[in-house]
A and B are shown apart, each in its own frame.
Chain A
Amino acid sequence: MENQLVFNDNDPQTELSTLNLGPTHPATHGVFQNVIQLDGERIVSGVSTIGYIHRAFEKIAEHRPFYQITPLTDRLNYCSSPINNMGWHMTVEKLLNIQTPKRVDYLRIIVMELARLADHIVCNGVLGVDTGAFTGFLYMMEYREAIYEIYEEVCGSRLTTNIGRIGGFERNFNDIAFNKIRKFLDDFPKVLKEFENLFNRNRIFIDRTRGVAATSAETALDYSWSGPILRATGVDYDVRAMNPYCSYDDLDFEVPVGNTGDVYDRFLVRNEEMWQSMRMIQQCLDKIAKEDPAIFHADVPEFYLPPKEEVYNNMEALIYHFKIVMGEIETPVGEVYHSVEGANGELGFYLVNDGGRTPYRLHFRRPSFINYQMYAPMSRGMLLSDAIINMSSLNVIAGELDA
């Protein structure tokens, strides 16, 4: 019953109004529809419809060799595409039993944490916009740009980065990239501090967010929530800490948790995660200084797609390039589940391989999809304005929701 609309058209005393929130409403942050029944300003019932940009990623992935799936994963959570991308390559590496060198791991952590920062900048910035505070968003967006410039330096593209390869990276990080990362770490804390000052004790912001959409840990777990919104309810489940991948266990970091699970807590958890991400990047930079600067991929020529200049100048690289691109690499039979901590939750890849050119079955566990299903049931009894804030605090990304 919780996904049904309520109509009492026969009773003139309680005439309900129907409102289409989305698919192109500016506050829905993407293409999904919520038909809600309103009694005055209070929501009586609601139904969510997703699937407006369903692109059949799983079906396409089952017809493509491993490398050609990379661009698909970039387009899941496009606010933090490197995390999806790395997650996919780590899944394949797990299937192929490839150990990556430490330097590759640390570089990956740097890229993934930068992606998390970019995602949280957008999410928390927009949460401010939805409560009527545009300033914070403007201050922070400049630093998402700085992160995109780092991506650009590392891989040549900005939004859908295609940054990983099986075993490592397509090219090594150059000095300009490292300088940009250091500059980001120098500049951003001041801005983030200012952002926190702007919001954390702001009367209007607190009134709009505290106690809104408060969720208990039991309910959140029952609905399989993950990521910052689960941690805001007080559950310290973070894939990076619980099932460390990619040398996260070498690093010293904390998992911030909230206690009431309301919008304000989610905001604070994300802010605190940004500090932790910067801390992790700094540690990785220190660790990388002790590693051989020439290593940027594992030594697995039969799986690692070689850089173009090597393909042009080296016979072996040309052969492997050709075999890999034509999907002629031999892969083991097996099934793998691997998950990474995406910016909005546990991003899992379930891969069944039968040794053919393409995966037999590939399923993405998309955090947005699972987090968002509670939206309509939890909106009951909420004010419309609170439901809007609740939606932006859930960090739903339409690309990931519909896949």
Chain B
Amino acid sequence: MGKITNEELLQKVTAQFGETVTNVSMPYDLLTFETTRENIIELLAWLKTDAVLQFIYLTDLTAIHLPEQTGKEIGVIYHLHSLVNNVRLRIKVFMADGDLNIPSATRVWRGANWMERETYDFFGINFEGHPDLRRILNVDDMTVFPMRREYPLEDPNRVDKKDYFFGR
């Protein structure tokens, strides 16, 4: 296990960022909390540079779409890892669907570049200040953001795909 417990970590974070840290939970021993997009870059930079915590490693960056959660439909999820203390951390930032702007984490880790491009490609989140925010896996002229819930996977039982329509 890590050298810092989740409780100590949470204490340090709340001491620094106070009420902006909400919805704290620990699913499967991974400290998870929400914050706001105004604070996220400051929080990430602080976690990275803090002499004790040293969350120097951005493991993963992705998003989730929860359409029934009104006002907080889209969440960006950061997984950080403090390699020195061997503690992982999950941070979420939720946004309303019509207003998907969040500052880019590329200022803190250059490695966030493609992760944010992928997230933009799938969910349409605008990472402000990203050096090169383009689609990465899908074609450039695509108009939809395919991982969002309003685009269901094509139904294999669709009638117009039945074999007898094609003489098979």
Residues of A within 8 A of B (CB): 1-4, 50-51, 54, 56, 58-60, 62-63, 94-95, 221-225, 235, 237, 242-243, 334-337, 339, 346, 348, 350, 352, 360-361, 363, 365, 369-370, 373-374, 402-403
Contact = CB atoms under 8 A, between A and B. Distances in A.
Contacts of A334: 27-28
B115 A370 contact: yes
Contacts of B131: 1-3
Contacts of B115: 224, 370
B109 A370 contact: no
Interface of B: 27-28, 30, 32, 56-60, 62, 64-65, 77, 79, 83, 86, 88, 90, 109-115, 118, 122, 131-132, 135-139, 146-147, 152-153
B161 to A, nearest CB: 16
A207 B60 CA distance: 36
Given A59-B153, A348-B79, A350-B60, A222 B137 contact: no
B153 A222 contact: no
Contacts of A225: 111
B60 A365 contact: yes
Contact of B28 (A54, A59, A336): A336
A1 to B, nearest CB: 7
B57, B65, B115, B135: residue with the most chain A Cβ atoms closer than 10 Å: B57
A225 B153 CA distance: 32
A224 B118 CA distance: 15
Contacts of A59: 146-147, 153
A352 B110 CA distance: 27
A370 B147 contact: no
Nearest to B152: A63
A222 B31 CA distance: 22
Contacts of A223: 109-111
Nearest to A243: B86
Given A59-B153, A335-B32, A337-B28, 10 more contacts: A4-B132, A51-B136, A58-B122, A334-B27, A337-B79, A348-B59, A361-B64, A365-B59, A370-B115, A373-B113
29 contacts: A2-B131, A4-B132, A51-B137, A54-B137, A56-B146, A58-B147, A59-B146, A59-B153, A222-B109, A223-B110, A224-B58, A224-B111, A235-B83, A237-B57, A237-B83, A334-B27, A336-B28, A337-B28, A337-B60, A337-B90, A348-B59, A348-B60, A350-B77, A363-B60, A365-B59, A365-B79, A370-B111, A373-B114, A403-B137
A337 B88 CA distance: 10
A336 B152 CA distance: 24
Contacts of B153: 59-60, 62-63
A56 B137 CA distance: 9
Contacts of A221: 56-57, 83
Contacts of A360: 64
A142 B139 CA distance: 39
Nearest to B90: A337
Nearest to A222: B110
A3, A54, A95, A337: residue with the most chain B Cβ atoms closer than 10 Å: A337
A51 to B, nearest CB: 4
Nearest to A52: B137
